[in-house]
Amino acid sequence: MLGTFEGIADGAIVDQPRGSRGFGYDPIFVPNGFGHTFAELPVELKNRISHRAQAIRALAAKLAALKPSD
């Protein structure tokens, strides 16, 4: 069994939604170290720093470790 994988994106919630990209909480969430909401950030950047991206990287590392050596 592979287990569970998670990621954490620390940040703050803004009063008014900003941006048109993304879904859910993206227009109201500003990740730490950034002055823009997830919905305002370029998709490539959001996909590098999001909690989902972190979880996928952890899963990929686990899968890579399971591959037999050549």
Q: Which residue has the tokens 């993206």?
A: 26
Distance CA 37, CA 55 (A): 20
Domain boundaries, the chain: 11-66
pLDDT tens digits, residue range 28-51?
Answer: 999 999 999 999 999 999 999 999
pLDDT tens digits, residue range 45-60?
Answer: 999 999 999 999 999 9
**Residue 22 in contact with residue 3, Cβ under 8 Å?**
no
DSSP assignment of the chain equals ----------EEE-SS---SSSSTTGGGEEETT-SS-TTTS-HHHHHHHSHHHHHHHHHHHHHHHHSPP-
- pTM attached to this predicted model: 0.79
